[in-house]
Amino acid sequence: MIATQYIKVSEKSIKKKRVNPKLCIGCGVCVGVCPSNANEMVENEYGEYLAVKRNNCNNCGLCLKVCPFVAGNDNEDKIGEEFYGGGEGIQHSSEIGYYKDCYVGYRNNDELRMQSASGGLATSLLEKLLDEDKITAAFCVGPNLGCSGNLYSFQKCNSIDDIRNCTRSVYYPVELSSVIQFILKNDGTYAITVLPCMAKSIRLACKAIPRLSKRIKYIVGLTCGQLKSKAFAEYLCAKAGGDMESLSRLIFRNKVGTSRAGDYKLTFLCKNTDRKSSSHSLRFASDDIFCRVWDTDIFMIKPCAFCDDIFAETADISFMDAWLPEYQGDYKGHTLAVVRDENVNNLIANLDENITTINVNEVVKSQSGVIFKKRSILRFRLLLKRKIINKRKYLLPKLKFPKNVLYLCETFVKEKFRKKSRYIWLASEKNIKQFEDKLFRLYFLLNIFGRIRGKKTILKGTSKRKIR
């Protein structure tokens, strides 16, 4: 369920700019389904996608019906119940929604496993769908090799090699408008790999347009904590010593191969005016730059602060990293999968890979940090934004000193981080030193809050994982 059902989205403002710019996640589905081509996806100065109205709008309201952040549209629980609730053996969890079975595993081919973000099961499933002619093509996020501008976009994968070129996680904005337009114009059956908000929007579009429902046969979801703007990639490139203006390729998760799962290397390839390439890298580990920057909400897209769908509850299957002690010692990686669709469950169970079932509580435990941030702390974000939400007292926390007051203060500082990082990055002309100097006080406050919290457990009713 997305918490923005409590947010007042003005229909008048949506007809002006399709969606309130403050709440547009930039998925692009509204642009893709528009029958009069009145909408367009644009990139703002902060490196975020927005849907805007251009001309010829016939006020059909279809764009409103498919938006995941418009109040009144079905939430994830309702969509999940409609698509999966009546299935045999279907169960429900407050954290992951409806599910049939949960799995953990990895690819038997070590080379392919090392090229994946975790264990490689998502790629293996898409390959099986294509190999058995269950789909005409798959749409996955992959690099725009040899193209200027955006480093990543959705790629149409017609072969197994195409799918393998779209492995690994991507922390970079992408949008679906061209994908939806292509599927509406071309008969066939398709699979799409998307994040939770996009999965919900596609489900809403399939309900509104039967033709889309017949052609999109499989929605493959990826667990998500937050979306970042392009500035996030630019900042990391600069921190690695690269030239962000000549950045031509960015690989977010290269497995180091000598340590634990979760210890990755980010690689930045830059080409200068002489076409000479230079490579720069950063380590991706729990105590390094990437994770410290990630946890501050720097460059986070605003609607993510009000979304509580972590496990892509409207997707036929959801994949994620196996952040559990018993699997983290294997640097090659393991994948967790939550299956909701009967047909997909049969495919996963019969994959020629190393796969076993796992208890749903272990899946929830593996994502306890994200659940804490997007569920427990959500109440404090709603409290700080009470001007744009309906009054729902049960959503708001009782401010008991010191713990809840501390969480409220920390949430306030992180929201300042998010807002200031956007315009300071531009105002400083993307100069790392100036940027960090202007945000130093906020860094300092967050460090103080972290030290005060120390080893306190998280809020009642969630996992007992310690806060670091």
Mean of pLDDT over the chain: 85
- pLDDT, tens only, 87-105: 889 999 999 999 999 999 9
Task: Report the DSSP beta bridge partners of residue 357.
Answer: 103
Return all residues near 29 (Cβ < 8 A) that are at least 6 apart: 66, 67, 176, 177, 180, 198, 201, 202, 204, 205
Identify whether 68 is preceded by a cis peptide bond (ω within 30 of 0).
no
Q: Collapsing DSSP states into helix, strand and coil, what is residue 122?
A: helix
Instruction: Tell me whether residue 51 is in a domain.
Output: no
pLDDT classification of 25: cutoffs 50, 70, 90? very high
Q: Are 82 and 190 contained in the same domain?
A: yes
Q: Of 180-194, 260-274, 330-344, which gets the smallest average pLDDT?
A: 260-274
Q: Are 100 and 174 contained in the same domain?
A: yes
Q: Are 97 and 117 contained in the same domain?
A: yes
The beta strand positions in 114-210, using DSSP E, are: 137-143, 152-157, 190-194
Q: Are 205 and 244 contained in the same domain?
A: no
CATH number at residue 122: 3.40.640
Q: Are 87 and 213 contained in the same domain?
A: yes
Q: Are 252 and 223 contained in the same domain?
A: no
Give the domain extent around 258.
239-291
How far apart are alpha carbons 335 and 327 in whole angstroms?
9
* 283 sits in which H/E element: strand 277-284
Q: Are 110 and 85 contained in the same domain?
A: yes
Query: Is the separation of the CB atoms in 106 and 119 below 8 Å?
Result: yes
The answer on pLDDT for 172 being more than 90 is: yes
Region 314-335: what's the mean pLDDT? 94
pLDDT classification of 18: cutoffs 50, 70, 90? very low
Q: Are 321 and 405 contained in the same domain?
A: no
> Whole-model pTM?
0.89
Instruction: Tell me whether residue 466 is in a domain.
Output: no
Domain count, the chain: 3
The answer on pLDDT for 10 being more than 80 is: no
Instruction: Tell me whether residue 42 is in a domain.
Output: no
The answer on pLDDT for 459 being more than 60 is: no
Q: Are 91 and 212 contained in the same domain?
A: yes
How far apart are alpha carbons 226 and 153 in whole angstroms?
18
The amino acid at 347: L
Region 226-251: what's the mean pLDDT? 88
- pLDDT, tens only, 179-234: 999 999 999 999 999 999 999 999 999 999 999 999 999 999 999 999 999 999 99
pLDDT of residue 266: 85
Q: Are 274 and 351 contained in the same domain?
A: no
pLDDT of residue 7: 38
Instruction: Tell me whether residue 26 is in a domain.
Output: no
Q: Are 208 and 248 contained in the same domain?
A: no
The answer on pLDDT for 54 being more than 50 is: yes
Return all residues near 140 (Cβ < 8 A) that are at least 6 apart: 126, 154, 155, 157, 163, 166, 193
Domain boundary among 332, 358, 384: 358
The answer on pLDDT for 161 being more than 70 is: yes
Percentage of the chain exceeding pLDDT 70:
85
Nearest to 243 by CA among 424, 423, 432: 432
Nearest to 82 by CA among 216, 214, 206: 206
pLDDT of residue 376: 86
How far apart are alpha carbons 268 and 272 in whole angstroms?
13
Structure tokens at 364: 């929830």
pLDDT of residue 284: 67
pLDDT of residue 398: 64
Structure tokens at 274: 């002489």
The answer on pLDDT for 364 being more than 50 is: yes
Q: Are 345 and 434 contained in the same domain?
A: no
Return all residues near 423 (Cβ < 8 A) that are at least 6 apart: 46
pLDDT of residue 400: 66
The answer on pLDDT for 336 being more than 90 is: yes
Q: Of 33-42, 398-407, 422-431, 432-441, which gets the smallest average pLDDT?
A: 398-407
- Alpha carbon 123 to its chain centroid, in Å, reads 17
The amino acid at 263: D
Instruction: Tell me whether residue 98 is in a domain.
Output: yes
Instruction: Tell me whether residue 338 is in a domain.
Output: yes
Instruction: Tell me whether residue 363 is in a domain.
Output: no
The answer on pLDDT for 254 being more than 90 is: no
Instruction: Tell me whether residue 329 is in a domain.
Output: yes
